[in-house]
Structure 1
Amino acid sequence: MPFKILIIDVLHHSFEELFAAPDLDLQIDYKPYLSPAEAENMLKMYDGLVLRSKLKLTERVLQKAPQLRLIARAGAGLDEIDLSYLAARNIKLLHAPEGNRDAVAEHTIGLMLALLHKIVAADKQVRQYLWQREANRGIELGSQTVGIIGYGNMGQTLARKLSGFGTKVLAFDKNEAAFTSQSLQWAQAVDFPTLQAKADIVSLHFPLDERNKNSVNAAYLAGFRKPIFLINTARGEILNTQALLNALELGKVAGAALDVLENEQLERLTPAQKKSYQALFERPDVILTPHVAGWTHQSYRRINEVLALKIKAYLKEEKEKRS
């Protein structure tokens, strides 16, 4: 019997070509235009599932897929997948954080430079025939201490790219395995209080889970000794929007750049979210982008390449176990 894989999201056209492996006895059904409900109802027929973000893989959904043995996510984040249920079912989970780490790091540095050099505000002023040089005097990135919170694929790649600016980089991660002889070429590992004491710029790169939702709150931001520039290209729900607004008003945060928001479905905001977002959008010291840090033409292909290779390796390993 072939190993049956269902693909429910649009992937780069290179995926199926890269995934061609006659020796693996595969059946690949590419159905990217299924609705979430249709996809959910088809899961029971498949051994593997490839997706981006069409379905939230809760225990309820996964119980509909009794023969599922493999889930492959074409992306980095795993916050919409019930990891504990996968472990209990012994379902293999693959993802591709290596695919967009360069894109995320470049975008993060772009946001840092835009904040430090007041690029967005200056652009708007010139378009209004205002030529205000002194008001737009910038800060050099190389003069700053950057604190990276979360030192996995994204954090390490950011640190490596920052090394070219001569920037001092501090890194904090709860997982000590993140700090290796290679990763410590680009950053100094510190505890969280040290990072809070020394950082001028703070960049968030840790994944979202139930334990850290809204963890970057008022107390968290108040703990920094100096006013910081805050960058979030991770997940919107780790940062409390109202706490950020208050910290901006108090001067605890000198400026913020956000690629992600607590609720990114802007047409479905609650009244409270509309109010806080309106206040956020009106601030000249805030830069916003629509969750595109990891979304480049190159990362789109690379994510699929990485994922296809990982799936092939998994299937070959499984085949060897059976032989």
Structure 2
Amino acid sequence: MAKVWIADKMSERAIEIFRARGVEVDYRPGLSDEEKLAIAGDYDGIAVRSSTTLKGALLDAAKRVKVIGRAGIGVDNIDVETCSRRGIVVMNTPFGNTITTAELAVAHIIAAARQIPQATASTRAGRWEKSRFMGMELTGKKAGVIGAGNIGAIVCDRLKGLHMGVYVYDPFISDERAAAMGVTKVATVAELAAMVDVLTIHVPLLPATRNLVDAQILASMKKGSIVVNCARGGIVNEDALYEACKSGHLRAAALDVFEHEPVREHPLFELENVSFTPHIGASTDEAQENVAVQIAEQMSQYLLAGAVSNAVNVPSLTEKEKRQLAPYLLLASRMGSFIGQTMRPGYSRLSLQFEGHAATVNRKPLVNAVLQGLLSRSMEEVNEVNAGMLARERGIELVETACEHSDNFSTLIRLQVEGDEGSRCVSGTLFDEKRPRLVSFDTCGIEVAPAGNLIFLQNEDRPGVIAAIGSILASADINIGDFRLGRREDVRNAVALIQVDSVPDEQVLAQLSELPNMLMVRFAELGEL
């Protein structure tokens, strides 16, 4: 039975779902570092929020783990690169707290515009300073939204409800998408900042977004404007924000996040026109239950059925897609494995062409399956998660093309690998949409099931070669189950694929290599179908 450790406080609904799905679960939040290290190796999956940091020694101790689930969006507390290299799927729940976080951003905008936190403190202190708290009406003003993803799109919708003009900077949305959202797309952050009365941020913290809103951007904003950050600390330069608020250039700022958390002291705390919350964007009962339920369902589906949802380091694949793609995944893996065993490592370029029906399916898992099959014969611990990363680290160029037309087959995958040994090409198809077959090798048309023990030969097309091959195999008591031949008419070479009932040893392969007119001898073990 798969076993999961819930390492942080989480809704009890997560426990119920794991158990209902048949997954053993231990709910053990709040452990010391030593206690975490002692138990991490006992689990197939670990579910966390933001308190537990899965990096360094703790991640190293989790020898058995296959999947890590983050009940929330950000995965800053997880070493995703190391997980990918080790083949651990890292999942998050990008939709569970989107509404909650968007609503907090809008609340901060309204509170900053009307100075609600400051007015609350003044009134509680017994002062009735009605004239002091002159606010800014939002209707008719311009709002700038950096990032129009899951959360940003909801913020745009809510701000439109306040009758604000909404402008967006997001290089990843099309003009058509912006038009459908009813917002105006702007080309740069600088252009957006200079035109709006309110600027709110909804992008992840990446090298490209760190200090995205810096002193220059803040200085370009209208005097009396507002900045809100409910995304990630470090996107708004806090020193620059302090100066802009202290000088009165900005009317107000509101932060739910800081570059270094938790924060106990900060220069911004001195300023009355800046308000704060302690990273509570996802802190509602509804959101916490949503993310707990989602991560438990996602992790269970992966551990029990191999289905991948909302993973940050591997293409998502539903259980239905996995069933539909199963024949393709087997074909792709066997094609990669065949070349990985018949071509020496030192690969520089890999070309994948999908034709016919193969061009219409979810191809990313198929690419990973090819890479996994190719690299697994020369590297340890290669899987669908880390295959792409390992290929990139070794400088293997990947070229992928797709065409819904195919000349001879309803569906076809063509794989060509170039490297130190030259180039090798294999093509595969599905018979009856479910039976994988290899149908060409280095331009020779040969049809064979990608299974069993295969001896792969290239020779000059001369009489006597087949008889000599049969004699050597018979002398070694190796029975031939199938013998397929093909010709390369352009160079008068022949290709043979021989399925044998037992594995030939190195002496037999050497004898085959020493035959007159023999150009190449390789062997591949492809397993059962």
Q: TM-score, normalised by structure 1?
A: 0.84
Between the aligned partners of 2:192 and 2:23, the Cα distance in structure 1 is 49
2:298 pairs with 1:310:
yes
Between the aligned partners of 2:124 and 2:41, the Cα distance in structure 1 is 57
Between the aligned partners of 2:181 and 2:79, the Cα distance in structure 1 is 35
- Give the number of aligned pairs: 310
The percent of aligned pairs where both chains have the same amino acid is 31
Larger Rg: 2
**Which residue is 1:138 aligned to?**
135
Give how far 1:214 is off.
3.8
SS of 1:234's partner is: coil
**Which residue is 1:270 aligned to?**
none
Between the aligned partners of 1:36 and 1:176, the Cα distance in structure 2 is 42
Between the aligned partners of 2:13 and 2:289, the Cα distance in structure 1 is 7
2:76 to 52, 76, 79: 79
The residue correspondences of 1:191-210 to structure 2 (distance < 5 A) are 191-192=187-188, 193-210=190-207
Between the aligned partners of 2:201 and 2:287, the Cα distance in structure 1 is 20
Between the aligned partners of 1:180 and 1:40, the Cα distance in structure 2 is 50
Give how far 1:129 is off.
5.2
Q: In the TM superposition, what whole-angstrom CA distance separates every residue of 1:102-158 from its partner, at most 9, and x where no partner exists?
A: 111111111111111122233334445544444423222222211111222221121
Q: In the TM superposition, what whole-angstrom CA distance separates every residue of 1:218-256 from its partner, at most 9, and x where no partner exists?
A: 233234355530111112233332211111133442210
The structure whose residues are more often helix, as a share, is: 1
Amino acid at match of 2:133: N
Between the aligned partners of 1:238 and 1:176, the Cα distance in structure 2 is 20
Between the aligned partners of 2:172 and 2:60, the Cα distance in structure 1 is 31
2:33 to 29, 32, 36: 36
Amino acid at match of 1:138: G
The residue correspondences of 1:261-300 to structure 2 (distance < 5 A) are 261-266=258-263, 274=265, 277=266, 279-300=267-288
Amino acid at match of 1:9: D
Amino acid at match of 1:89: R
With over 3 angstroms needed to count, the CA separation of the structure-2 counterparts of 1:247 and 1:15, relative to structure 1, is same
CA RMSD of aligned residues (A): 2.7
2:181 pairs with 1:185:
yes
Q: In the TM superposition, what whole-angstrom CA distance separates every residue of 1:28-66 from its partner, at most 9, and x where no partner exists?
A: 222223223322342222221111123322255423323
**Which residue is 2:241 aligned to?**
244
SS of 1:295's partner is: coil
**Which residue is 2:17 aligned to?**
18
The structure whose residues are more often strand, as a share, is: 2
SS of 1:43's partner is: helix
Q: Contact 2:148–2:173 at 8 Å: present in 1 too? A: no
SS of 1:97's partner is: coil
Unaligned runs of 5+ in 1: 268-273
Unaligned runs of 5+ in 2: 308-318, 327-529
- Which structure's relative contact order is higher, taking Cα pairs within 8 Å and 6+ residues apart? 1
Between the aligned partners of 1:18 and 1:235, the Cα distance in structure 2 is 30
Q: Contact 1:7–1:29 at 8 Å: present in 2 too? A: yes
SS of 1:78's partner is: coil
Q: Contact 2:178–2:185 at 8 Å: present in 1 too? A: no
Q: Contact 1:59–1:85 at 8 Å: present in 2 too? A: no
